[in-house]
Amino acid sequence: MDQPVAGETLVEQPVKFYQTGTFTVGNRLLSETERSVQADMDRTNSLNSGHRACQGCGEALGARYAIDAAMRATGNKLIAVNATGCLEVFSTPYPETSWQIPWLHSLFGNAAAVASGVAAAQRALGRRDVRVIAQGGDGGTTDIGFGCLSGMFERNDDVLYICYDNEAYMNTGVQRSSATPPAARTATTPAVGETPGNVFGTGKNVPLIAMAHRIPYVATASVASLRDLERKVTVAMAIEGSRYIHIHVPCPLGWGSAPQDTIRVARLAVESGLFPLFEARHGEVTARTPIRSRVPVTEYLKLQKRFAHLFGNPPQSERIAAIQAIADRNIAEFGLNDS
Ligand SMILES: Cc1ncc(C[n+]2csc(CCOP(=O)(O)OP(=O)(O)O)c2C)c(N)n1
Ligand code: SF4
């Protein structure tokens, strides 16, 4: 902040666009309301150090922020159920664990159902203060666990389900899921042939499907905006009934991005329009994050080897334009223009 000269009043500048993971941003001390849960010395470190995630793992980062925020919001009365997947495997190689909360490993496909059962058991015990989270990767959520998830939504069970979307089955070697984007190379959508990578026009949008169940709260979030992620988890924990948060988490190993670029890649997904950030209540969009500095999708795609075949000689301009059209449609549909 500029020093005031004689006769001038000191005007505080609002902090707008920076990550606020500590007490300060730039050379300014943040007000208490702007400090993140992670900036708090009393954070729970629910997902503690010593786990085996890859360098730059977006899923580890997202889970740490999400669960610490949920712990703060519930006064540390939280139980987490975890589907099989990277988050479970890197955090809990038997007999060790990095979790410092009551934590259950379910099967790959039934985390939502197990969490519903845990919530029902707490209710039967009269422990309405104890809250429940289910969490898993996109494969465990949008594919194999989808039936259990839809059932949980339909019954409006008192669970927050968090999907960490790294856009493929990473734990078993990067196979395609129904969250894998068009053109992406995975082990099952190889970069060969006339239309290399994942085919266009497939997959499903689970946040929109969750909204169609008209559950109390649905949100998308990104590790590009950790403060916003913490806020959405906090909002969700104050609501009863089914809630769903879908977090975009880059995976350096599966995406072929540099570990130090995880936040950059996540931010470009948001700022290109490929990953819209919004909140919805009872099926209606109630808030969205406008894009402040729009970038073409090529800025995002070029940082990832899974899209390298699009930029050969000659580049696959039509397919890049088709991806740009998806981003343009998102921006129009969710009203993300910052104007
Ligand atoms: C019924 C069943 N099928 C297959 C597997 C093997 N498996 C374990 S984790 C996993 C992939 C998990 O992918 P995802 O849910 O996207 O999470 P990520 O590892 O990407 O975080 C698979 C296929 C399993 N454990 N159970
Ligand atoms: S494979 Fe991806 S999701 Fe799994 S630990 Fe490594 S970076 Fe994280």
User: What pLDDT is attached to residue 2?
Assistant: 43
Q: Does residue 112 have its Cβ closer than 6 Å to ligand 2?
A: no
Contact (CB, 8 A) for 18 and 12: no
Question: Ligand 1: which atom is nearest the Cα of residue 254?
Answer: 20
Q: Does residue 254 have its Cβ closer than 6 Å to ligand 2?
A: yes
Q: Considering only CA atoms, which residue is closest to atom 2 of ligand 1?
A: 108
CA of 242 to the centre of ligand 2 (A): 28
Return the percentage of the chain with pLDDT > 70, whole number.
Answer: 93
Question: Ligand 1: which atom is nearest the Cα of residue 141?
Answer: 15
Euclidean distance between CA atoms 309 and 288, whole angstroms: 33
User: What pLDDT is attached to residue 20?
Assistant: 59
Contact (CB, 8 A) for 47 and 63: yes
Arithmetic mean of pLDDT over the chain = 93
User: What pLDDT is attached to residue 52?
Assistant: 97
CA of 105 to the centre of ligand 1 (A): 13
Contact (CB, 8 A) for 262 and 240: no
Q: Does residue 180 have its Cβ closer than 6 Å to ligand 2?
A: no
CA of 83 to the centre of ligand 1 (A): 8
Q: Which residues line ligand 1 (CB under 6 A)?
A: 59, 84-87, 108-109, 136-140, 166, 169-172, 177
Euclidean distance between CA atoms 186 and 179, whole angstroms: 12
Beta pairing, strands 160-165 & 131-137? parallel
Q: Does residue 168 have its Cβ closer than 6 Å to ligand 2?
A: no
Which residue blocks in the chain are alpha helix, DSSP H?
Answer: 58-73, 86-91, 111-124, 138, 146-155, 206-212, 226-237, 252-255, 262-272, 297-301, 317-334
Euclidean distance between CA atoms 311 and 314, whole angstroms: 7
Closest CA to 272 of 286, 292, 252, 253: 292
CA of 5 to the centre of ligand 2 (A): 51
pLDDT in tens, 295-305: 999 999 999 99
Q: Which residues contact 277 (CB under 8 A, 6 or more apart)?
A: 220, 221, 222, 225, 228, 270, 288, 289
pLDDT in tens, 63-110: 999 999 999 999 999 999 999 999 999 999 999 999 999 999 999 999
Beta pairing, strands 243-248 & 278-281? unpaired
Phi, psi of 4 (to 5 degrees): -70, 145
Strands of the sheet containing 278-281, edge to edge, are 103-105, 78-82, 131-137, 160-165, 243-248, 217-222, 278-281, 284-288
Euclidean distance between CA atoms 182 and 250, whole angstroms: 16
User: What pLDDT is attached to residue 17?
Assistant: 54
Question: Ligand 1: which atom is nearest the Cα of residue 136?
Answer: 15
Determine the 3-state secondary structure of 255 from DSSP: helix
Determine the 3-state secondary structure of 111 from DSSP: helix
CA of 287 to the centre of ligand 2 (A): 30
User: What pLDDT is attached to residue 8?
Assistant: 59
Low-confidence ranges of the chain (pLDDT < 70): 1-22, 26, 339
Beta pairing, strands 160-165 & 103-105? unpaired
Question: What is the maximum alpha-carbon separation in the chain?
Answer: 71
User: What pLDDT is attached to residue 1?
Assistant: 39
Q: Considering only CA atoms, which residue is closest to atom 5 of ligand 2?
A: 53
Q: Does residue 331 have its Cβ closer than 6 Å to ligand 2?
A: no
